[in-house]
Chains A and B, each alone.
Chain A
Amino acid sequence: MTDNHTLLDIRGLKLEFGTSDRPLRAVDGVSFTIKEGETVCLVGESGCGKSVTALSIARLVPTPPARYVGGEILLQHRDVLKMSKRDLRNIRGGVVSYIFQEPSSSLNPVFRVGNQIKESLKLHRPDAATADEVIRLLKLVGIPAPESRMRDYPHQLSGGMQQRVMIAMALASHPKLLVADEPTTALDVTIQAQIIELLRDLKQRLGMSMLLITHNLGIVGDIADRVAVMYAGQIVELAPANELLAKPLHPYTQALMNSVPKLGSEAARLTAIPGNVPNLGAFPSGCRFHPRCPKARFDCPERPPELIEVQPGRWVRCYYWDAPLPEPHQALNPNNPALIQARKNQSGPDRPRPAETKPIA
């Protein structure tokens, strides 16, 4: 899979928390690549391991408590997990930059924002650590009157402006990869739109790669080239963004898309996913989604499925992705609420949206 344009290649990453006699595996065999200039989205609910995966790229997860128990993270063809501290310091900021969910807690409240940006410049581009460069960066991220804004303290800026400062700081070191961990979740809808537009524009102008972590499938359609959907520590579906949104193949992705209300939809009732997100350390056996899955059959709790390429570029972790809903004698539990709901949607008049897959000819 690796070629010269691959910037990041994560192979079978496994990460554990907890004690060695009772390990809690937060990331279990995650593999994906990011090419130069490409934007990949990691989508999943809380506790699915998406943030830990992203933090691992610059080895930012503290060890202990975490342990890397397998896999490799090839950043520009070098394994991050085997790097020395000095090498790590160079890639942090130099190759990978991060922006986080809560800009107000990522900025230092006692320093002016201009100085905080300059600090990043001093470390990575000492020649460019000037006020002019700070102003240029603030202009780049669309902050009005940067000459005076750079002398502000973080609390003097609104949430959207703080996030722009964070982006300016992340870009100061000219990274190859920008990792944005839920960058708009703490922001209002109209400000969220501004930040997404900004990220999309910057990505095009600077030719960066981007890894965007989100739980909002709507953002995926706006910005991503490819999407990886995570559930309980594993990637369950990996596909080009527009193909995945047009026709999700994994039952979890389908259920996730059906459970969000859509503007202007006529559906009287939402298709909820029954049950809860499983806790770390209490992942179900076999396929981890089977207790909530409408397609669960007898063998789902027994055989853990692999992530396989079912069509060019489309990877799915499910044995029955192209099978119809199971008949009562095939189903793991004929009274499965997800199955009953799915049947009703298939026949009912108020079917919210055709997301059922058809076998590919």
Chain B
Amino acid sequence: MSLLEVKNLKVHFPVKHGLFSRVHAYVKAVDDVSLTIEPGETLGLVGESGCGKTTLGRAIIRLIEPTSGQVIFNGEDITALRGSDLRQRRRGFQMIFQDPYGSLNPRMTVEQIIGEAIDIHKLAETPAARRARINELLQAVGLNTTHAQRYPHEFSGGQRQRIGIARALAVEPRLIVCDEPVSALDVSVQAQIINLLMDLQQQRGLTYLFIAHDLAVVEHISRRVMVMYLGKVVEIAEAKELVRSPKHPYTEALLSAVPVVDPVSKRKRIVLPGDVPSPINPPPGCNFHPRCPKVMDICKVEMPPLREISPGHWVACHVAQNEAGLKPLSESPATPVVL
């Protein structure tokens, strides 16, 4: 059984203007996203800023209320849970945030930060057990037990991120949503945190949803990778497969845009024209068609569905689906809706 199953999740934010705050339009930050994560696996989630990857991560652990759709965690639908029920279930899924400076309360000591989670879920019966638990967590993330009495400002960025990881681990979660956990860190420290996350996963059987914009980092840590563009999933595949043979033109461009250290392996770079369009008023048909180098007529009219073109490799692209020999779902392409 999958640990996490997300079905047709939508998060639409209303855009309000004017005197009476009338709703003019919706930002479709996450638009009909479905995914599953198996126990012990890491699913990578990549995309550019504004593609909805953080919103998706937050909606899954109910920090943002989804507009519609279902989040099924460990066989139980958590989308409708409220109050103490939800708080209880939250023990199973935690989050690590991007900004190690903003996500720790500057007025609390490390012991208080980690202890708060232990107190809320009543995981320690005596003060001694609580202290022992905190010390054990600090050691697990590579910090010193003497650090417990210090405040966040006394630590470097990498150490703060370790505190954030210890806080997430305090309640023994099964799923951790890592939202850009290394992008605010120095290059030489990033590798330490990535190695730590992978070690902890092995020791504790954790499951990660790993959100990042750096494809090389995501490929390194994930078993499968999901690519998002403008609120929609455009491609899901095994990490190695996605990097070796990307099928969606957006994934191809994203991969080719990653600067490569190795001067010998100069690949042809695909430079996409233009910017990511506004999610308030996305282009008709395929969201990506105005920037797509392979655009066909049908792309301007019909949104391609996400379909499996080879085992485990899902793509939402008419071109890739044609090449894979899939027949269009509807024989007569839908006529454009004139507004």
Contacts and interface: CB of A to CB of B under 8 A. Distances in A.
Interface in A259-296: 259-265, 267, 269-274, 276-277, 292
Interface string A304-348: 000000000000000000000000000000000000000000000
B79 interface: no
A190 B272 contact: yes
Contacts of A219: 259
A222 B259 contact: yes
A158 B243 CA distance: 28
Interface string A194-215: 1011000000000000000001
A88 interface: no
A242 B49 CA distance: 31
B235 interface: no
Contact of A189 (B48, B159, B243): B48
In the complex, which range does the number of interface residues on chain B fall in? 35 or more
Contacts of B219: 261, 263-264
Contacts of B256: 193
A216 B214 CA distance: 12
B25 interface: no
B261 A218 contact: yes
A189 B194 contact: no
Given A263-B260, A273-B188, A193 B271 contact: yes
A263 B258 contact: yes
Contact of A259 (B188, B214, B240, B258): B188
Given A190-B272, A221-B261, A277-B156, A264 B48 contact: no
A15 interface: no
A45 B261 contact: no
Nearest to B275: A158
A256 interface: yes
A313 to B, nearest CB: 16
Interface string B254-294: 11111111111000010110011000000000000000000
B187 A45 contact: yes
A191 interface: yes
Contacts of A221: 259-263
A243 B188 CA distance: 21
A306 B220 CA distance: 37
A271 B191 contact: yes
Contacts of B125: none
A219 B213 CA distance: 16
B260 to A, nearest CB: 5
Contacts of B217: 261
Nearest to A214: B259
A80 interface: no
A189 B191 contact: no
Contacts of A191: 48, 275
Contact of B262 (A189, A192, A245, A270): A245
Contacts of A259: 187-188, 190-191
Contacts of A193: 256-257, 259, 269, 271-272
A191 B188 CA distance: 25
A76 interface: no
Nearest to A279: B156
A160 B257 CA distance: 15
B322 interface: no
A311 B63 CA distance: 57
Given A188-B49, A259-B187, A245 B254 contact: no
Given A245-B263, A261-B216, A215 B258 contact: no
Nearest to A193: B257
Nearest to B253: A190
B187 A215 contact: yes
Contact of A194 (B187, B254, B261, B271): B271
Interface in A230-261: 241-242, 245-246, 255-257, 259-261
B191 A272 contact: yes
A46 interface: yes
Contact of B243 (A218, A264, A277): A264
Given A189-B258, A256-B188, 6 more contacts: A46-B186, A196-B259, A221-B259, A222-B259, A259-B187, A259-B188
Q: Lowest 10 CB-CB distances: which A-B pairs, in order?
A: A218-B259, A272-B191, A261-B220, A193-B257, A188-B48, A259-B191, A270-B191, A273-B188, A272-B192, A45-B186
26 contacts: A188-B48, A188-B49, A189-B258, A190-B48, A190-B257, A190-B272, A192-B257, A193-B256, A197-B271, A215-B186, A221-B259, A245-B263, A256-B187, A259-B187, A260-B216, A261-B219, A261-B220, A264-B240, A264-B243, A264-B244, A265-B220, A267-B220, A270-B194, A272-B194, A276-B189, A277-B189
